[in-house]
Amino acid sequence: MNRKYRKTIIAGNWKMNMTNSGIKPFMEELKANMPKAKQCDVVLCTPAVMIQTMVKAGKDCKVAAGGQDVSIYDKGAYTGEVSATMLEDIGAKYCIVGHSERRQYHGETDMMVNAKAKKLLEKGINPIICVGESLEQRENDLTMEYVAYQVKAALSGIDATALRHCVIAYEPIWAIGTGKTATSEQAQEVCEEIRAVIRKIYGARPARAVSILYGGSMNAKNAYELLAQPDIDGGLIGGASLKPADFATIVAATAQD
Ligand code: PGA
Give the nearest ligand 1 atom to 241 CA.
Answer: 3
How confident is the prediction for the chain on average, in pLDDT? 96
Residues 6+ positions from 59 with CB-CB distance below 8 Å: none
Amino acid present at 176: I
Any ligand 1 atom below 6 A from CB of 172? no
Please give the distance, rounded to the nearest whole angstrom, from the Cα atom of residue 223 to the centre of ligand 1. Answer: 13
Any ligand 1 atom below 6 A from CB of 27? no
Establish whether 189 is a catalytic residue.
no
Amino acid present at 147: V
Tens of pLDDT, residues 39-71: 899 999 999 999 999 999 999 889 999 999 999
For the chain, what percent of residues have pLDDT higher than 90? Answer: 92
90-99 mean pLDDT: 98
Tens of pLDDT, residues 136-184: 999 999 999 999 999 999 999 999 999 999 999 999 999 988 888 889 9
Contact 154, 131 (CB under 8 A): yes
Please give the distance, rounded to the nearest whole angstrom, from the Cα atom of residue 3 to the centre of ligand 1. Answer: 24
Please give the distance, rounded to the nearest whole angstrom, from the Cα atom of residue 44 to the centre of ligand 1. Answer: 13
Give the nearest ligand 1 atom to 239 CA.
Answer: 4
Between the alpha carbon of residue 162 and those of residues 3, 120, 122, 186, the distances in Å are 20, 10, 9, 28
Query: Global pTM?
Result: 0.97
- Pinpoint the alpha helices (H) of 83-141: 84-89, 100-105, 110-122, 135-139
The total of other beta-carbon atoms located within 10 Å of residue 201's CB is: 15
Instruction: State the catalytic residue, choosing from 29, 99, 192, 193.
Output: 99
